[in-house]
Structures are given as C-alpha cells and as structure tokens.
C-alpha cells in the first residue's frame, strides 16, 4: 500500500507538470481572455499580469499554483471574474456525480445477474439474447445513441426534454445512454469470468459433494468471478467526474464534462488545471481502493 501511494503521488506530480506545461504552450493567453476587445495600455496589461502572477517565470507560477492547490485554493475563474473555481467545481460535480451514480447502480444491478445467468445457461436462448445485446451495446457510440433518443423522445414523441437538468425527466435519457453501455460491458465481462470459473476444479469438487447448483454458483462461483467486474466498476468510479463529456455536451447537462469543454474553448486556465488534477487524484485513489477490494473478494491475493 505504501508503494502504491508513492507511485500515485509520482503520477499526480507528472500529470500536474504536463497539464501546466501544455497550457503554457497552448495558443492564446489568459490576458487576451480577460481584456477581450477593450482598449488597454501596456501599463494596464502589466498590472493585470502582476495581479495574476503571470509576470513571474513559469516554474514560479507552477509552484505557486501547486502550493495553492495543496491548500485547497483552486483560484478564481479568468472568464467568470471573481467566481472561485472551487464553487464552479462543486456545483458541476454534484450534478455529474448524481447522473453517473444513478447510471452505475442501474447498470450493475442489471448486468451482473444477466451475465451470471447467461454463463450458467450457456448456449440457451437467454445466453444468445444477452450476448447479442451486450455486443450491440458496446458497439454503438454514445453520441449516436444520444442523438437517436433526442429525435425519438423529444422531437417525435415530445415526452422528454432534450436538454437541461431541471426535473427528473431530464435524467432519463442521459442515464439511459450511460447505463446501456455500462450494462453491456459489465454483462459481457461477468459472463466470460463466470464461464472461466465454472471450469475450475474446485467447482467440480463442490458439485461432486452433492451441493445444489444454486449453492455452487452463489457460494463458489460468483465471488471468484467478480474480480473483472470490480475492475470495471472501479474504473468507472475513477472517471466519475470527467467521464461523461460527450453525454453532458449533447444533453446540455451542467456537469464537470461540459464545464471542462467550455473552459477549454474559453481558455479558462484555472478551471482546466483544477479539473485535470482532481481527476487524476480520483483515478489514483480509486485504483488503490480497487486493489483493496480485490484482496477482500479473493483472500489468495492477500497471501501473495
């Protein structure tokens, strides 16, 4: 665990350097964004640079930024003058996390039983339908599904709003898009992992002892088959804040993904840096928690 924590700190350090360096090399300048089309003198530009610390060398700017980030100070938005970045992230993250958690709970509750049943009833009609459905769900791109849902339920039928997050109806289509692909992926993994475990010797031994098939599957198969599923769920949780950029953009969902895209187009450097760094921290933490979940599910990992 200590080794993994140290590796995570190194990863976050290099991500912070890369993010800061790329934005330094990107075309355009925060000064241009703040000034806009106003007529300003060189002295006024120098005052603005001094206020934001842009007159300092890049390494001084980097360590000042990292020091503030470690203290929880994400700075202020360049575009939305006077608005703290932490406020913008808090408002956007609450919306994104709700959307993703709903989709994750629904997809996991459906996909795990479907995958296990399909493996236990291999080559049955249920297995064929589940396999075809999961293949289609993985193959279809999320932007296409989103547009088709908008055309059908918003333009043609008029049942659901096409954008926004004002009511529970606004959740239906984004959740459907996210849950569909997650369900397809998790179901396919659960089926493949369960099939592999069913061929193991300890399963044959359990059956030879006269245990009911239901008991063999629930006690001996399911727990051992969950490691790949836990990996996918852990990865999905790791990208909980930033993994829905396309869906949020299409449905005009005021979450972190849309905030990230808007900040890139508007050169809002403080927001971009904060989102990338926080996302990398979440990924590192979730990877460590996933490893701990491995050890809980499979005691053999603890022994190794």
Same domain for 158 and 35, yes or no, is no
The predicted model gives 160-187 an average pLDDT of: 86
Other beta carbons within 10 Å of 267: 19
More reliable by pLDDT, 135 or 236:
135
Q: Is 76 helix (H, G, I), strand (E, B) or coil?
A: strand
**In angstroms, rounded to a whole number, what is the distance separating the alpha carbons of residues 181 and 184?**
5
- Collect all residues with Cβ–Cβ distance below 8 Å to 298 and sequence separation of at least 6: 223, 224, 227
Same domain for 13 and 115, yes or no, is no
Other beta carbons within 10 Å of 94: 13
pLDDT at residue 73 tops 70? yes
Q: Over the stretch 30-50, which tens digit does the pLDDT of each residue have? A: 666 666 666 666 677 677 667
pLDDT at residue 302 tops 60? no
Lowest mean pLDDT among 14-23, 216-225, 295-304: 295-304
Same domain for 51 and 105, yes or no, is no
The per-residue pLDDT of the chain, averaged, comes to 81
Which stretch of DSSP H or E encloses residue 218? none
Distance of CA 33 to the CA centre of its chain: 29
CB of 160 closer than 8 Å to CB of 169? yes
Residue 264: inside a domain: yes
Closest CA to 244 of 153, 160, 142, 116: 142
**In angstroms, rounded to a whole number, what is the distance separating the alpha carbons of residues 150 and 162?**
6
Q: Is 173 helix (H, G, I), strand (E, B) or coil?
A: helix
Closest CA to 277 of 44, 55, 75: 75
Q: Is 243 helix (H, G, I), strand (E, B) or coil?
A: coil
Same domain for 156 and 251, yes or no, is yes
| Structure-token match 């926080």, residue found | 278
**In angstroms, rounded to a whole number, what is the distance separating the alpha carbons of residues 244 and 255?**
9
CATH of the domain at 233: 1.10.3720.10
Q: Which two tokens stand for residue 214?
A: 């239901």
Q: How high is the pLDDT of residue 76?
A: 79
pLDDT at residue 254 tops 80? yes
Q: How high is the pLDDT of residue 51?
A: 67
The predicted model gives 5-25 an average pLDDT of: 83
Same domain for 65 and 97, yes or no, is no
Q: How high is the pLDDT of residue 121?
A: 86
Q: How high is the pLDDT of residue 304?
A: 53
**In angstroms, rounded to a whole number, what is the distance separating the alpha carbons of residues 157 and 5?**
52
Q: Which range marks the domain in which residue 64 is found?
A: 2-70
Same domain for 41 and 127, yes or no, is no
């Amino acid at each position: 665990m200590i080794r993994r924590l140290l590796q995570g700190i190194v990863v976050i350090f290099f991500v912070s350097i890369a993010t800061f360096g790329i934005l330094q090399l990107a075309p355009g300048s925060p000064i241009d964004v703040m000034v806009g089309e106003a007529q300003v003198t060189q002295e006024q530009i120098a005052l603005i640079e001094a206020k934001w610390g842009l007159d300092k060398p890049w390494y001084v700017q980097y360590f000042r930024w990292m020091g503030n980030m470690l203290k929880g100070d994400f700075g202020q938005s360049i575009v939305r003058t006077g608005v703290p970045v932490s406020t913008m992230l808090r408002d956007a993250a609450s919306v994104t996390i709700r959307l993703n958690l709903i989709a994750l709970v629904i997809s996991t509750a459906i996909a795990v039983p479907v995958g296990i049943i399909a493996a236990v009833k291999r080559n049955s009609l249920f297995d064929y339908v589940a396999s075809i459905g999961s293949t289609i769900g993985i193959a279809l791109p999320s932007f296409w599904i989103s547009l088709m849902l908008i055309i059908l339920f918003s333009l043609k039928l008029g049942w659901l709003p096409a954008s926004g997050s004002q009511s529970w109806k606004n959740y239906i289509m984004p959740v459907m898009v996210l849950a569909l692909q997650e369900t397809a992926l998790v179901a396919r993994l659960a089926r493949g992992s369960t099939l592999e475990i069913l061929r193991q010797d300890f399963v044959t031994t359990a059956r030879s002892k006269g245990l009911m098939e239901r008991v063999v599957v629930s006690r001996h198969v399911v727990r051992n088959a969950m490691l790949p599923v836990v990996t996918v769920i852990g990865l999905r949780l790791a990208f909980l804040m930033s993994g829905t950029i396309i869906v949020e953009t299409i449905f005009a969902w005021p979450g972190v993904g849309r905030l990230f895209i808007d900040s890139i187009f508007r050169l809002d450097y403080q927001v971009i840096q904060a989102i990338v760094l926080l996302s990398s921290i979440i990924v590192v933490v979730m990877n460590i928690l996933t490893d701990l979940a491995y050890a809980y599910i499979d005691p053999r990992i603890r022994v190794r």
